[in-house]
Amino acid sequence: MDFLRPTTLAEALEAKAANPRAVPIAGGTDVMVELNFDVRRPDALLDLGGVAELAEWEVDDDMVRLGAGVPYNRIITELGAKLPGLAMASRTVGSPQIRNRGTVGGNLGAASPAGDAHPPLLACAAEVEVASSTRGTRRIPAGGFFIGPKRSVLEPDELIVAARVPIASGPQQFAKVGTRNAMVIAVCSFGLALNAGKRSVGTGIGSAGPTPLRAPEAEAFAETEIDGLWDTREPLPDSMVRRFGELVSEAANPIDDVRGTAAYRRHALGVLARRTLAWAWADYRTGSWST
Amino acid sequence: MTRSSERTRTEGGVGHSPVRPDGALKVKGEFAYSSDLWADEMLWGATLRSPHPFARIKLIGVGGALRIPGVHAVLTQADVPGRNRYGLEHADQPILAEDIVRYQGEPVAIVAADHPETARRAVAAIEVEYQVFEPVTDMDHALRPDATVLHPDNETGNCVRHVRVRTGDPEPTAPVVVTGEYSVGMQDQAFLGPESGLAVPAADGGIDLYVATQWLHVDQKQVAEALRLPQEKVRLTLAGVGGAFGAREDLSMQVHACMLAMHTGKPVKMVYGREESFFGHVHRHPARLRYEHGATEAGDLVYVRARIVLDGGAYASSTTAVVANAATLGVGPYEVESVHMDAYGVYTNNPPCGAMRGFGAVQACFAYESQMDLLAEKLGMDPVELRLRNAVREGSRMPTGQVIDSAAPVEQLLKLVRDKPMPPPAADDLREMPGGVSNTTHGEGVVRGVGYGVGIKNVGFSEGFDDYSTARVRLEVVAGEAVVSVHTAAAEVGQGLVTLQAQIARTELGVAQVTVLPADTNIGSAGSSSASRQSYVTGGAVRAACEKVRAEVLELAESPDARLEDGKIVNDDVVVADLVELLGDKVVEHTVEWRHRPTGPLDSHGQGNAHVQYAFAAHRAVIDVDVELGLVRVVELACAQDVGKAMNPQAVEGQIQGGSAQGLGLAVMEEIQVVDGKVRNPSFTDYLIPTILDMPPMPLDVLELADPHAPYGLRGVGEPPTISSTPAIVAAIRAATGKALTRVPVRPEHITETEETT
Ligand SMILES: Cc1cc2nc3c(=O)[nH]c(=O)nc-3n(C[C@H](O)[C@H](O)[C@H](O)COP(=O)(O)OP(=O)(O)OC[C@H]3O[C@@H](n4cnc5c(N)ncnc54)[C@H](O)[C@@H]3O)c2cc1C
């Protein structure tokens, strides 16, 4: 097995174009498990750990351009205010060891429907920036990135360079159900972003479909119902919150598996959607989200 | 004679908690486990396993595998030199499959190669043609007369053992009756150090095997038979054991590594990965239990009728003992006049099940304690009151007719946990919410519940088994200092037995410097590190050997009534002699084979003095459950246990905490999910065990009510806490949710009633 160690992004992209079957490795928290379990035997590993361009984040206008190789623990400590939804999701990932190594680039690369970074990226309409040495850079809306379980639109000669995540302009929430109180893969999860500037509501559903999903009808419903309330900051009617939960539940497309039944996932997503909307709206009313 | 209260004064002796010799190494990651074994020129072994739960092997093609460079051997059942059968109670399991495979993961062929990767590739290159059969996967169906018989040699079809217990009125009636059906899922021991060992061929044609196991001598015997070698040519040494909990009682890679080593003439190491480990050892028996309890209006138990079916999977392993435990302990620590109990262990094509902490008693306790709660509810009685009213005590008669002849403080244990102050409500911190840091509730839907459980377990091997241990103790002067060495074949599996052996020697011989030699087969058997028995039996053997050494020393000092204390011979507080001076060059050494008092068989009505000692623990569980999401957080788990004598108080607490954690796992998360005979979650990604955020604080009460029959009065500690924590937690969830919850582990689907498939 070859072990390729580029030190710049350009080198990395060239190496990927020259060896399209080389498997990129960032934190290795998915790749090493697969190697260990003999799930795959790549001819080459492309270590992205030495590529400085991937390891940083920067503010670009009203976005955070989050390098694919920034680990979760840095998102938690450095980006809690700018990207609260993603930071909350990052806190739920694995254990401290996993959060020290694991990255959003790796989460996207693995493209698991259970990846915890995905619901917040969907909810706040982030884009995935990918690049190839021959065809340049393209930006893909998070909602269009995933095409099936563990499959994305990433081409074999491409690498994920960054996630472009809008800086929060409203409260965000993330909640994940697992059958243990820490270190657990999601049975289902839900991300919510209220965008007070655009007066929009974003959603992301994890682990309840072949890919991470949005709940467009729930979003549209909430936007209509909340429309007059952004200024008055009145409480949301219970019936509205309930309906929102139902629509999120209906948007899911879950299956029965070892982690839970489809029926449970639908049910739990409704509960999570209700609760996260209530929390987010309470934060919006008090303004506590922006501190 | 010296009295034990005087002897416990020795620093680092019995009753103290000296630092474990392996503690710092383990914490720092420097301890050498069996997976760290290494020999020059060694080869790596790997195992081909059946993908099918039930099939006929039509053809095995090894040519492709043998042609891979670096492959030294590919062996099948035809290469087993001796008897191709093993098993703890029935030798019914092939070392390598012959014509039929009976479970998914059954070993079919083995490979040795110069690199583990090459060995794995070679395994993948072996071609096997199977004729696949419909597996027998339901334990009740397996018992029906028309079921496919999986072991045609077994006279009772798919029934491995049926134990009936009958006492009292054969047709009892009672004014208040409750019935319930319960089930228990398949739990895994989930030890952290997977199966591993190193086999080194010896010049004398024998073999040296370094292996992580629970019982060296039972391995030795089985390996020798399979290799067709005299027992003395199969020498075993215990390698670093990364946990056991019953899963290392049966053979795994022992014979395979030895076969490969003898065939190639080179050392062969085998290490299972985590996934393979799930197929490489037996699990806890899943069970279906049907109970009927009859009681008076006042709450006195009149009768119990029960039927317990335990799924033993493809091979017998310890099933016969598991069935006996379930049957004889299946009424719980309660006095019941009439008992009508049938317990069955069955063969299916599910993964083989055998020993796991608390076996037989764990499954039964979930059912009988659930029944006690149901009965309390029907009577409108407090569940603890009902238990107190019916609790056994010293002198009570078990359903087997056996009289409990030492402390049975069930009443006291229950009161201790009941009267503990209640924990405060959850703080405003996600880590204190059900769902934890996953942020699923900020208090919404959270309801608190409290539940109780009490259990009973036998200690040591039962039913007339010749249960003994062997210890050699040597006292001599080395570099001007008195030094003791202790040698046994007892397996340190993490429980702290090495520390304990040294404590006993310090107490008995008044010598600070004690070395515990590596466990190996150069000495007689110590029996298994299981059944909560090693402190009792090997502890008893070490003490007995020390007593002989002491007697000889005192004879030498011509002061037969003196004590050994701090390196001195002391008589009536007067120093008679200094041990170093007295001994000079003399070495005092004694080897003792020590037995606990005999037990007897069960007759056809399940009557007999089958158990040597009973042990009890009680739990109170306080839980918070999010009733909308079905997520549970155990807030506090109070436990009270009688240990007879806390030989090493810190180790005792460790056993109670660890055992309770395993019971917590069974209550709310741990299950090997088997569908159509196939394991769906053979990894720690989906076989969940409790983390530090799942395990609550545990207020403990440790009673020391000496058992006059046992060394130091001690009572086995390891298993009882695993038994009662499960029902206590489930009772608490029931109290909070009002749901019946008749199955463990309880899943969020059970609490939210979203089990139906779509
Ligand atoms: C114990 C444990 C617990 C875990 N818990 C969670 C959890 O709670 N939630 C969760 O979501 N995940 C969890 N995971 C999975 C894993 O940690 C995450 O998916 C993590 O985000 C992967 O990041 P990584 O940098 O380690 O990826 P790697 O393992 O390095 O890579 C993952 C995949 O992405 C590809 N890849 C990586 N970087 C790039 C790139 N720049 N361009 C293109 N492809 C790339 C790799 O080729 C590979 O296919 C857990 C894993 C373990 C071992």
How does DSSP assign B15-27, residue by residue? TS-PPPTTHHHHH
Question: Which chain A residues are Cβ-neighbours of B439 within 8 angstroms?
Answer: 88, 91-92, 173-176
What sign does the dihedral B237-B240-B245-B251 (CA atoms) show?
Answer: negative
pLDDT at B757: 63
* Residues in chain A closer than 8 A to B444 (CB atoms): 275
Strands B513-516 and B481-488: parallel
- Half-sphere exposure (Cβ direction) of B561: Cα atoms closer than 13 Å: 4
Instruction: Give the pLDDT of residue B601.
Output: 98
Alpha-carbon distance of B599 to B604, in angstroms, equals 16
Burial B55-72, CB ≥16 within 10 A → b, else e: bebeebebeebeebeebb
Q: How far is the CA of B558 from the centre of ligand 1 (A)?
A: 74
Is the pLDDT at A112 greater than 80? The verdict is yes
pLDDT for B8: 45
End-to-end CA distance of chain A, in Å? 49
Please indicate if any CB of chain B lies within 8 Å of the CB of A263: yes
Q: Is B223 exposed, middle or buried (0-12, 13-18, 19+ CB in 10 A)?
A: buried
Chosen for mutation from B277, B438, B623, B669 (greatest number of chain A CBs closer than 10 Å) is: B438
Closest partner CB to A272 (pick from B436, B440, B633): B440
Long-range contacts, B140-146 (Cβ 8 Å, 24+)? B140/B288, B140/B309, B142/B311, B142/B346, B142/B347, B142/B348, B143/B309, B143/B344, B143/B346
> Hey, what domains does chain B have and what are their CATH numbers?
23-31+468-595 (3.30.365.10), 34-133+197-241+248-280 (3.90.1170.50), 287-462+602-752 (3.30.365.10)
Checking if the pLDDT of A74 tops 90, the result is yes
* CB B352 within 8 Å of CB B282: yes
| B563-565/B568-571 β-pairing | antiparallel
Residues framing ligand 1 (Cβ under 6 A): A 23-31, 33, 48, 68, 93-94, 98, 101-103, 105-107, 109-110, 115-116, 159-160, 185
Find the CB nearest A181 among B683, B691, B747: B691
- Selecting from B442, B686, B749 the residue whose C-beta is nearest the C-beta of A264 gives B749
- The token pair that represents B131 in the structure block: 């004729």
How many Å lie between the centroid of ligand 1 and the Cα of residue B547? Answer: 60
Calpha distance B511→B504 (Å, rounded): 10
Q: How confident is the model at residue A37 (pLDDT cuts 50, 70, 90)?
A: confident
Which regions in chain B score pLDDT beneath 70? Answer: 1-9, 757-758
Query: At B750, which helix (H) or strand (E)?
Result: helix B748-752
- pLDDT for A164 beyond 60: yes
- A258: distance to nearest CA of chain B, Å? 7
Query: The whole model's pTM is what?
Result: 0.97
Q: How far is CA B301 from CA B365, B376, B443, B493, in A?
A: 16, 11, 40, 40
Q: What is the pLDDT of residue B384?
A: 98
Give chain A's count of helices (H) and strands (E).
Answer: 12, 13
Question: Which residues, including other chains, have CB under 8 Å from residue B708's CB and lie 6 or more apart?
Answer: B406
Q: How confident is the model at residue B355, as a pLDDT?
A: 98
Residues B438, A176: C-beta atoms closer than 8 Å: yes
Cross-strand partners of B675: B678
Residue A176 CA, closest ligand 1 atom number: 8
Average pLDDT, chain B: 97
Average pLDDT over residues A140-167: 98
Task: Ligand 1, residue A161: give the atom nearest the CA.
Answer: 41
CA distance B171 to B683: 48
Please answer whether residues A252 and A177 qualify as being in contact, where contact means their C-beta atoms are separated by less than 8 angstroms.
no
For tokens 């806490």, what's the residue? B721
The separation between CA B279 and the C-alpha centre of its own chain, rounded to angstroms, equals 18
Average pLDDT over residues A281-288: 94
Interface list for A 268-287 with B (CB within 8 A): 268, 271-272, 275, 279
Q: Which of B430, B432, B439, B634 to mutate to test the interface with A (most CBs of A within 10 A)?
A: B439
Distance CA B256, CA B85 (A): 13
In angstroms, the separation between the Cα of residue B457 and the nearest Cα of chain A is 29
Mean pLDDT, residues A86-90 taken together:
98
- Which secondary-structure segment (H or E) carries A140? strand A136-141
Which residues on chain A are in Cβ contact (under 8 Å) with B747?
179, 260
* Alpha carbons A252 and A188: distance in angstroms, whole number: 10
Tell whether ipTM is more than 0.95: yes
For residue B165, give the 3-state DSSP assignment. strand
Structure tokens at B58: 């039509």
Q: How close is the Cα of A141 to the center of ligand 1, in Å?
A: 20
Tell me if chain A has a CB within 8 Å of the CB of B748.
yes
Q: Which of B181, B180, B258 is nearest to B222 (CA)?
A: B258
